[in-house]
């Protein structure tokens, strides 16, 4: 499998930067594509292969950073699918951590993070950012 | 007694809607809401609702009708900001929409939230890659919600959703 997945951001889709070599994965921007399932298909494919092929290495921690301004409900559903793949890695013994990044006064985004935190079984941290990047 | 009641259109778009136009609308509305001193959480709520309703129009509106165009508007009504989205539909969609929305309107916020989580975690994607959660999400987040379906007289109807958001504590 490819070790790196990069998708450039657009006005309606986030930047996807998955880098296996440094164990860092990030989804950043706005996400309201016309068809979220189609947009995230390469991400799902990447993670599916990662779950199947990656030999567990307890000395490394996979970090997934999610920092979104806006996301539609279909993205909300795909995000859960993405978290499920990290859940599978976690179950296999691979250390993983999801960081849900949001502006400190954005209670809507904080609530969304709390909902995901409750829905998944893996280390899931909410990180309040102090100013908009 | 004089009663003063502010009713000011902040934004209105009427015409064909697509995914090229939507980000421009989002950007314009975001700037307008910042200008209205609407704080981040409420701004996010309103724009998220706008995105859902606009994408419902893009996915489900009939393409053209001589007497009805898709439209989206944002109006300040006193302490509320009211988001409206309207589009022509086939009359055959009316029963489904009425049944679906009336069922949602019979639920309280906790039930809506539980239903949202249930659909999010357990249901499949729609044919258009959606989650089937748009109206439910808008209804759960808005402070007020209403809809109308008005016959256009030719097997079509005009479907309008109004979602209101209280700004008093946030402005």
Residue B102 has pLDDT above 80, yes or no: yes
Which residues in B lie closer than 8 A to residue A70 (C-beta atoms)? 26, 44, 47-48, 51
| Mean pLDDT across A101-128 | 93
pTM of the predicted model, to two decimals? 0.91
User: For position B170, what pLDDT does the model report?
Assistant: 44
Q: Do A35 and B51 touch (CB under 8 A)?
A: no
Q: What is the maximum span of chain A, computed from C-alpha positions, in angstroms?
A: 40
Residue B146 has pLDDT above 80, yes or no: yes
Q: Do A103 and B51 touch (CB under 8 A)?
A: no
pLDDT per residue as tens digits for the range B61-88: 887 778 788 999 999 999 999 999 999 9
Residue B131 has pLDDT above 60, yes or no: no
| Long-range contacts at B2-10 (CB < 8 A, ≥ 24 apart) | B5/B77, B5/B78, B6/B76, B6/B77, B6/B78, B7/B75, B7/B76, B7/B77, B7/B78, B8/B75, B8/B76, B9/B73, B9/B74, B9/B75, B10/B36, B10/B74, B10/B75, B10/B76, B10/B81
Q: How far is CA B114 from CA A43, B15, B104, B110, in A?
A: 28, 36, 12, 6
| Mean pLDDT across B130-150 | 89
User: For position B105, what pLDDT does the model report?
Assistant: 95
Residue B14 has pLDDT above 80, yes or no: yes
Residue B129 has pLDDT above 60, yes or no: no
What is the band of B121 on the pLDDT scale with cuts at 50, 70, 90?
confident
| Mean pLDDT across B128-150 | 86
Q: Which residues are CB-contacts of A124 (< 8 A; sequence separation ≥ 6)?
A: A83, A97, A98, A100, A113, A116, A117
CA distance A108 to chain B (A): 5
* % pLDDT > 70, chain A: 97
Which residues in B lie closer than 8 A to residue A115 (C-beta atoms)? 117
What is the band of A76 on the pLDDT scale with cuts at 50, 70, 90?
very high
Interface test with B, best of A9, A44, A72 (most B CBs within 10 A): A72
User: For position B11, what pLDDT does the model report?
Assistant: 96
Which residues in B lie closer than 8 A to residue A112 (C-beta atoms)? none
Nearest to B44 among A36, A38, A108 (CB): A108
Burial label, A119 (beta-carbon count in 10 A; 0-12, 13-18, 19+): middle
User: For position B122, what pLDDT does the model report?
Assistant: 79
Measured from the Cβ of residue B15, the count of other Cβ atoms closer than 10 Å reads 9
Residue B169 has pLDDT above 80, yes or no: no
Residue with the bigger pLDDT between B139 and B122: it is: B139
Nearest to A77 among B19, B58, B131 (CB): B131
| Mean pLDDT across A38-49 | 97
Q: Under DSSP, is residue A107 helix (H, G, I), strand (E, B) or coil?
A: helix
Domains, chain A, ordered by start: 4-129 (3.30.750)
User: For position A82, what pLDDT does the model report?
Assistant: 97
CA distance B154 to chain A (A): 29
Question: What angle in degrees, to the nearest 10, is found between the helix axes of A41-53 and A73-91?
Answer: 10
Tokens of A120: 């998944």
Q: Do B121 and A80 touch (CB under 8 A)?
A: yes
Residue B96 has pLDDT above 60, yes or no: yes
Which residues in B lie closer than 8 A to residue A107 (C-beta atoms)? 41
User: For position B171, what pLDDT does the model report?
Assistant: 41
User: For position B139, what pLDDT does the model report?
Assistant: 93
Residue A132 has pLDDT above 60, yes or no: no
What is the band of A105 on the pLDDT scale with cuts at 50, 70, 90?
confident
User: For position B118, what pLDDT does the model report?
Assistant: 86
User: For position B168, what pLDDT does the model report?
Assistant: 75
Measured from the Cβ of residue A16, the count of other Cβ atoms closer than 10 Å reads 21
What is the band of B23 on the pLDDT scale with cuts at 50, 70, 90?
very high
Name the residue in chain A with its Cα closest to that of B47: A70
Nearest to B131 among A69, A74, A109 (CB): A74
Which residues in B lie closer than 8 A to residue A32 (C-beta atoms)? 22, 51, 55
């Amino acid at each position: 499998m490819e070790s790196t997945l990069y998708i450039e951001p657009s006005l309606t889709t986030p930047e996807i930067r998955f880098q296996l070599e440094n164990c860092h994965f990030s989804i950043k921007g706005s996400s309201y594509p016309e068809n979220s399932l189609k947009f995230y298909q390469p991400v799902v494919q990447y993670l599916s292969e990662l779950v199947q092929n990656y030999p567990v290495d307890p000395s490394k921690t996979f970090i997934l950073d999610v920092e979104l301004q806006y996301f539609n409900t279909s993205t909300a559903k795909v995000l859960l699918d993405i978290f499920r793949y990290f859940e599978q890695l976690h179950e296999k013994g691979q250390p993983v951590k999801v960081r849900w990044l949001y502006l400190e006064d954005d209670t809507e985004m904080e609530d969304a993070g709390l909902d995901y935190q409750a829905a998944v079984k893996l280390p899931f941290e909410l990180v309040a950012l102090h100013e908009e990047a | 007694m004089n009663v003063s009641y502010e009713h000011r259109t902040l934004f209105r778009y009427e015409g064909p809607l697509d995914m090229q136009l939507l980000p421009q609308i989002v950007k314009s509305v975001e700037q307008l809401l910042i200008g209205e001193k609407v704080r981040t959480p409420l701004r996010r709520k309103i724009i998220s609702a706008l995105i859902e309703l606009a994408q419902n129009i893009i996915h489900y509106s009939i393409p053209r009708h001589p007497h009805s165009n898709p439209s989206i508007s944002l109006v300040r009504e006193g302490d509320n900001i009211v988001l409206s989205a309207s589009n022509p539909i086939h009359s055959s969609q009316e029963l489904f929409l009425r049944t679906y929305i009336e069922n949602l309107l019979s639920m309280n916020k906790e039930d809506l939230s539980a239903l949202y989580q249930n659909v999010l975690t357990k249901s499949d994607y729609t044919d258009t890659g959606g989650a089937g959660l748009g109206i439910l999400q808008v209804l759960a987040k808005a402070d007020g919600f209403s809809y109308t379906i008005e016959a256009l007289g030719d097997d079509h109807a005009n479907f309008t959703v109004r979602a209101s958001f209280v700004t008093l504590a946030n402005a």
